[in-house]
Amino acid sequence: MKDQPPEGLRYPWEAPPAEGEAIEVADGVLWMRLPLPMKLDHVNVYALEDGDGWTIIDTGFSSRRGKALWQNLLDGPLAGKPVTRVVVTHHHPDHVGLAGWFQTAHGAELITTRTAWLTARMLTLDEQSLPAPETLAFYRSAGMDPEIYVQRAQERPFNFADIVEPLPLGYTRIKQGDCIEMGGRAWEVHIGNGHAPEHATFWSRDDDLVLAGDQILPSISPNIGVYATEPMADPIAEWLEACERLATLARADHVVLGGHKLPFTGLPMRMRQLIDNHHGALKRLLAFIETPKTAAECFAPLFKRTIGAGEYGLALVESVAHLSHLYQDGLATRHRREDDAWEYQRKG
């Protein structure tokens, strides 16, 4: 949604760490930032000091440059001490990309949720030279722009393995209600959903820190999409449930360390905003589909800004998610057009 600092939030650090550097956000907790070759041009990673080694939270993409950047961090701010554990909040490539490298090249233990590990490993093994027939059918059902459809049908799609290191067998599972020791603190594990299935967040029992991954971000809402892998998924319902549940844990003094943007305080207000943002989007969308619309025709009420070519795919899957939620909630109907696109219309 809109990329603006919401009123009431505070940012303890005005600027992120420079490349190759780290900011100590609490005793034994380092914040670092890695570049990404996309519109959201960075991912935050964290290192927690554990005696003679480090536990790191998320990893960035797998690439020669990514490995070189990590080596600079290991030699610099991490003072040559080894990475002994890698904790992955969720399966997306900017978070899991180098987990396998840390396992094989550095002997680190991988800690994540079962769904995150299974999904990441499955996707690294599923290389495609052209989009699968099911993916093309999904694009048609969403009413994808014909020119974009023709282009995508003929080109090699994004493959997880392009930017995610192979994951060897073996990991340590975390789940809802677990407690994990990192950086001299006990952290409660609370599971989010919607942006990614079984997304782990970590809430310190000993101070005011929250490691939130992409489940809770300060000035943007994470993408929530439906894909060909599970076309009748309802991640909007899962997102709202998770936000309502996590909101009960939120304190105004929590320092939230997210996967993108700046660390912030004011978490109770931000949780209300994240929930209200999607209720507002659903309300606008329901009014918009007074006449039948496909997912590709619903960008304006959802995003309230122009969607460019680089954002089209993420916008499309998020539009599908919101429309399908209205349909599955009994607030809209849908029917197939002759070109296979679903058109959604407000019920009654």
* C-alpha–C-alpha distance, residues 306 and 186, integer Å: 44
Q: Does domain 23-283 have CATH number 3.40.190.10?
A: no
* C-alpha–C-alpha distance, residues 55 and 37, integer Å: 25
- CB atoms inside a 10 Å sphere around CB 262: 21
**Where residue 7 falls among pLDDT bands split at 50, 70, 90?**
low
Are 14 and 246 in contact, with CB atoms under 8 Å apart? Answer: no
Per-residue confidence (pLDDT) for residue 1, from 0 to 100:
37
Biggest alpha carbon–alpha carbon distance for the chain: 65
Q: Would you list the DSSP string of 225-251? A: ---TTSTT--HHHHHHHHHHHHHTT--
Alpha carbon 298 to its chain centroid, in Å, reads 22
pLDDT digits (tens, 9 = 90+) for 121-153: 999 999 999 999 999 999 999 999 999 999 999
pLDDT digits (tens, 9 = 90+) for 148-197: 999 999 999 999 999 999 999 999 999 999 999 999 999 999 999 999 99
For 287-305, b/e burial (b = at least 16 CB within 10 A) is ebbeebbbbbbbbebbbee
What residue spans define the domains of the chain? 23-283
pLDDT above 70 covers a percentage of the chain that reads 98
Q: Which amino acid is at 95?
A: H
Q: Which amino acid is at 81?
A: K
* C-alpha–C-alpha distance, residues 169 and 124, integer Å: 13
Say what the alpha-carbon torsion angle 125, 128, 134, 138 is, to the nearest 10 degrees: 100
Instruction: Classify strands 29-35 and 42-50 as parallel, antiparallel or unpaired.
Output: antiparallel
Per-residue confidence (pLDDT) for residue 348, from 0 to 100:
79
Per-residue confidence (pLDDT) for residue 298, from 0 to 100:
97
